[in-house]
Amino acid sequence: MNRINQFLQGIKVVDLSRHLPGPLASLMMLDLGARVIKVEPPGGEELRFIGPEGPNGYSGYFDSVNSGKLGVQLNLKTAEGRAGLLEMLQDADVMFESFRPGVLERLGLSIPLLRQEFPRLVICSLNGYGEHSPLQQAVGHDINYLAMNGVLEGTGTAEHAVAPWPPLADCSASLFGMSAVLAALLERERSGRGAHIEVALADSVMPLMLFSLVEAQQDQQGMPRGRALLNGGAARYRTYKTADDQWLALGAVEPKFWQAFCLAADHPEWIERINDGLPQTELQRELEHYFAGLTMWECEQRFGQVDCCVNRVAPLAQALNSEHIQTRALVSEQDGVMQALFPAYVDGKPPATRPPFRQP
């Protein structure tokens, strides 16, 4: 076991959440050393039945976010199931849940009751819109949260909004939830008190939009897709198609990288056009024509050793075999399940791989 896997040694997490946000948060805590108990309803949670079948007879998606956890199934609609959860929480430090506001209360497991019963427990609620919202009972998924908050309007092509992948709201809510839980555990060392943390998925994308908020403050349009510096409006931060129908990414935002690119491309006249008005459609067309005359191999020969932020748009299967990913050892297959570990090295070592999901 590496040191990063011991940071949260002794911390017990009970995870009632489903799908991606909560399970991802508890998975990352597991990588940091916590012991995680995954609580499912009878028959298993919905994620077992969504996505491609994995090596264990249910969806590989489920294993991807639950490896290393101990699974139990409880019917919280029954007195026996509720008693089982309360017993489990006796020595727990953290509880994740992802029900809509009011569901726990209807089950007889309200947040005030749990906090009174377990004053040192840190509870993290991950839900769509938050309890204090006119939308508290509304349904939604990642694409809806991005659409309502202006994210989708800035993503995609000039003609078509495209939901980004992976799901930004789900993942950001997960990581904000986990970071708040870790901070609450630290504060508990001083105060002796737990806390209730609520992270709404619809809120979680806004800290990612800081640059867009600046733009919106200056211009009511914010960062319309295909027109701003970082979402398709600039020639130097964009994807281009090569002669052999592959794609490459150009990310030469800083003047020094743009200059290096232009010189390597034998087009020094482009250097001074770095600040052409957005969207830089004419300059983009020139670069499109330029790259359309080069194969990917030719591009890599020309730009591969130049500090100008040019690289191939790699399919995931190809990326997994890259020297970078193979060397870093943070993504690998274990027991037929692909694992992506906590992306940090501590004292020069990555986290250890996780054991399989276990059920008593």
Q: What are phi and psi of 295, to 5 degrees?
A: -80, 165
CATH number at residue 100: 3.40.50.10540
- Measured distance CA(171)–CA(202) in Å, rounded: 11
Angle at 46 between CA 41 and CA 49, to 5 degrees: 125
Burial of 148 (C-beta count, 10 Å sphere; 0-12/13-18/19+): middle
Are 283 and 176 in a shared domain? no
- Provide the residue type at 149 as one letter: N
Q: Is residue 143 part of a domain?
A: yes
Q: Which residues are part of the catalytic machinery? A: 170
Are 189 and 238 in a shared domain? no
Q: Is residue 290 part of a domain?
A: yes
Are 190 and 262 in a shared domain? no
Q: In the chain, at which residue ranges do the beta strands (DSSP E only) sit?
A: 12-15, 35-40, 70-73, 94-97, 122-127, 195-200, 237-241, 247-251, 310-312, 331-334, 337-340
Are 160 and 241 in a shared domain? no
Are 67 and 193 in a shared domain? yes
Q: Is residue 215 part of a domain?
A: no
Task: Tell me what the pLDDT averaged over the chain comes to.
Answer: 94
Nearest CA-CA partner of 326 in 350, 301, 300: 350
Contact criterion met (CB below 8 Å) for 38 and 48: no
The tokens for 277 are 């008005």
Q: Are strands 122-127 and 331-334 parallel, antiparallel or unpaired?
A: unpaired
41-59: pLDDT as tens digits: 999 999 999 999 988 889 9
CATH number at residue 288: 3.30.1540.10
What's the Cα-to-Cα distance from 320 to each of 64, 324, 326, 331, 339, rounded to whole Å? Answer: 16, 9, 7, 8, 11
Are 64 and 177 in a shared domain? yes
Of residues 218 and 104, the one with the higher pLDDT is 104
Q: Is residue 217 part of a domain?
A: no
Q: In 3-state terms, what secondary structure has residue 27? A: helix
Are 193 and 242 in a shared domain? no
Long-range contacts of 269-275 (CB under 8 A, 24+ apart): 273/235, 274/236
Domain count, the chain: 2
Per-residue confidence (pLDDT) for residue 227, from 0 to 100 = 85
Which domain covers residue 97, as residue numbers? 3-207+331-340
Per-residue confidence (pLDDT) for residue 291, from 0 to 100 = 98
Residue 214 banded pLDDT, cuts 50, 70, 90: confident
Per-residue confidence (pLDDT) for residue 56, from 0 to 100 = 87
User: Averaged over 114-130, what is the pLDDT?
Assistant: 97
319-354: pLDDT as tens digits: 999 999 999 999 999 888 889 999 999 999 999 999
Residue 277 banded pLDDT, cuts 50, 70, 90: very high
283-306: pLDDT as tens digits: 999 999 999 999 999 999 999 999
Q: Is residue 218 part of a domain?
A: no
Q: Is the pLDDT of residue 1 over 80?
A: no
Per-residue confidence (pLDDT) for residue 345, from 0 to 100 = 96
Are 163 and 247 in a shared domain? no
User: Averaged over 141-163, what is the pLDDT?
Assistant: 88
Per-residue confidence (pLDDT) for residue 294, from 0 to 100 = 98
User: Averaged over 159-173, what is the pLDDT?
Assistant: 92
Nearest CA-CA partner of 287 in 232, 240, 237: 240
Q: In 3-state terms, what secondary structure has residue 192? A: coil
Are 162 and 189 in a shared domain? yes
Q: Is residue 289 part of a domain?
A: yes
Residue for token pair 């399919």:
315
Are 148 and 31 in a shared domain? yes
Q: In 3-state terms, what secondary structure has residue 96? A: strand
CA 213 to chain centre: 21
- Measured distance CA(280)–CA(234) in Å, rounded: 6
Question: Considering the entire predicted model, what is its pTM?
Answer: 0.93
Contact criterion met (CB below 8 Å) for 325 and 278: no
Are 42 and 81 in a shared domain? yes
What's the Cα-to-Cα distance from 299 to each of 240, 241, 249, 265, 306, rounded to whole Å? Answer: 11, 11, 11, 9, 11
Q: Are strands 122-127 and 195-200 parallel, antiparallel or unpaired?
A: parallel
Are 303 and 336 in a shared domain? no
Residue 220 banded pLDDT, cuts 50, 70, 90: low
User: Averaged over 251-273, what is the pLDDT?
Assistant: 98
- Measured distance CA(296)–CA(240) in Å, rounded: 11
What's the Cα-to-Cα distance from 165 to each of 152, 170, 171, 274, 301, rounded to whole Å? Answer: 12, 11, 10, 29, 30
Contact criterion met (CB below 8 Å) for 29 and 181: yes
How many other CB atoms sit within 10 Å of the CB of residue 160?
9
